[in-house]
Amino acid sequence: MRNNITIRTKEKNYLIQIKINSIKNKLKKIIKNEDKVFIIIDKKVDHLIKDLSDKKNLFIIRFVGSEKIKNYIFFQKITEKLLSKGIDRKSCIISIGGGTIGDISGFIASTVLRGVKFILIPTTLLSQVDSSIGGKNGINSMYGKNLIGTFYQPNLVIIDPYVLMTLPIKELKSGYAEIIKHALIYDSSFFKWLESNYNKIFNLNFKTLEKAINKSILIKSKFVQEDTKEKLINNDSRAILNFGHTFGHALETFYQYKKKLTHGEAIAIGMMIASKISYKFNYLSKNDLIKINNHFKKVGLPTSDKNMYNTAIFSLIKKDKKNIGNNINLVLLKKIGKAKFSRNLNIKKIKKIIY
Ligand SMILES: NC(=O)c1ccc[n+]([C@@H]2O[C@H](COP(=O)([O-])OP(=O)(O)OC[C@H]3O[C@@H](n4cnc5c(N)ncnc54)[C@H](O)[C@@H]3O)[C@@H](O)[C@H]2O)c1
Ligand SMILES: [Zn+2]
């Protein structure tokens, strides 16, 4: 198994290092070699930096990660704090936390002083298999999730499955939903492997977890490298990674990010809706549809929500930055392991067939 994965993009090539129990040593080395280091960390993983507080060139900003911090207020608060502590262009920002801390930190790293060095240390399964890969960052607007942000590749990503020891099972499942997504869009044998190994992942068998993380990153990085800025060129486009996210994001916005659903739960429902549409369009076989549904049920991810076909959900989808007028773009499945980007689908027709 490759423990180091190189991501090659037009802007930057960088390394993703996956290793159990590696964070403390790596952090020490980075702080020793860098000029000034600014750590933005989730309080829930504060133990990871316990021995570092005496370092003179280190400044630490602590938050509890949640969707609520991905906004203008925190963006301003953190940026001003960095400036007040003398951040300069040779400084390095390190984000240690889940996808929310990573997303806002990445946005700040790309904008403060027009961009400084950025290292990501993801501490949730979701951020290890998804949000830390590919250089997307951002904050939310009242009009929807992630509407403000940049593409900014990090200089390094350090992934340590051992940090997941403290992660609640609900959050572990949230990350697992993105792993299933990667299998569904690209790799049917990976999906089969997950069907027989998901239990070991939830029991934190680190070897199995490492393999699932590794495989997932390789799939995501394939799409990212083909199309770093999501130009929707073809079926290898980065947009394929949005499978399940059209309805998933709408549900999250509908609930105002109030923790009713985790990101993974929302996209699990979104993936089920997209799979049903794929079946109704005669792309996906009934057998595959049942397999997908059964797997979600077995692992305890939701496949429906009482509000998923609410009119407000369709209005939110129409507002999505990727859609124009009454026509929407959707990622559908041809079969387990193969996705298809469908443009300009009429929202009224979609509504009719899924009711
Ligand atoms: N940039 C991208 O490409 C991309 C891709 C997918 C998702 N995202 C974004 O990622 C975010 C979701 O990420 P997330 O699920 O990691 O959310 P999160 O950052 O809110 O973390 C989930 C919860 O786990 C806690 N936590 C973090 N690490 C922990 C640990 N090791 N032990 C115990 N608790 C821990 C956090 O405090 C929080 O309560 C969303 O905002 C989503 O939009 C971005
Ligand atoms: Zn996602």
Q: Which amino acids bring their CB within 6 angstroms of ligand 1?
A: 42, 44-45, 64-67, 70, 97-101, 103, 123-124, 126-127, 130-131, 134, 136-137, 145-146, 163, 166-167, 171, 174, 263
The larger pLDDT score, comparing residue 112 to residue 319, is at 112
User: Within 13 Å of residue 80, how many CA atoms lie on the same side as its CB?
Assistant: 6
Mutational pocket test of ligand 1: of 20, 96, 103, 108, the residue with most ligand atoms within 8 Å of the beta carbon = 103
CA 66 to ligand 1 centroid distance, Å: 7
Q: Write down the pLDDT at residue 145.
A: 79
Does CATH number 1.20.1090.10 belong to domain 169-354? yes
| The two structure tokens encoding residue 313 | 């959900």
CA nearest to 160, candidates 53, 41, 16, 14: 16
Say what the pTM is: 0.94
When pLDDT is averaged across residues 108-129 and rounded to a whole number, the result is 98
CA distance 318 to 69: 26
The matching CATH number, chosen from 3.40.50.1970, 3.90.1150.10, 3.40.50.1010, 3.10.110.10, for 4-166 is 3.40.50.1970
Percentage of the residues of the chain whose pLDDT score is greater than 90: 75
Q: Ligand 2 centre from 38 Cα, in Å?
A: 27
CA 93 to ligand 1 center in whole angstroms: 18
Instruction: Give me the pLDDT at residue 61, please.
Output: 97
CA of 127 to the centre of ligand 2 (A): 9
Grade residue 230 by pLDDT with cuts at 50, 70 and 90.
Answer: low
Domains of the chain: which residue ranges?
A: 4-166, 169-354
- How far is Cα 219 from Cα 289, in angstroms, rounded to an integer? 22
Note whether 116 and 92 are within 8 A (CB): yes
pLDDT in tens, 305-347: 998 888 889 888 887 766 677 888 899 999 999 999 988 888 8
- Ligand that lies nearest to the alpha carbon of residue 70, given by its number in the listed order: 1
Q: Are 89 and 122 in contact (CB under 8 A)?
A: no
Mean local confidence (pLDDT), 345-352: 86
With 0-12 / 13-18 / 19 or more C-beta atoms within 10 angstroms meaning exposed / middle / buried, residue 309 is middle
Per residue in 55-73, pLDDT tens?
889 999 999 999 899 999 9
Distance (Å, whole) CA 40 – CA 141: 22
User: Which of 86-90, 93-97, 181-185, 341-345 shows the lowest per-residue confidence on average (mean pLDDT)?
Assistant: 341-345
Considering the chain, what percentage of its residues have pLDDT values greater than 70? Answer: 95
Ligand 1 atom index nearest CA of 101 = 19
According to the model, what pLDDT value does residue 122 have?
A: 98
On whether the CB atoms of residues 257 and 251 are closer than 8 A, the answer is: no
Q: How far is the CA of 327 from the centre of ligand 1 (A)?
A: 31
- Rounded to the nearest whole angstrom, what is the distance from the C-alpha of residue 9 to the centroid of ligand 2? 21
Give residue-wise pLDDT tens across range 131-170. Answer: 999 999 999 988 777 889 999 999 999 999 999 999 999 9
To test the ligand 1 pocket, which listed residue (47, 75, 100, 320) has its Cβ within 8 A of the most ligand atoms? 100
Instruction: State which ligand 1 atom lies nearest to the alpha carbon of 138.
Output: 1
Ligand closest to the CA atom of residue 262: 1
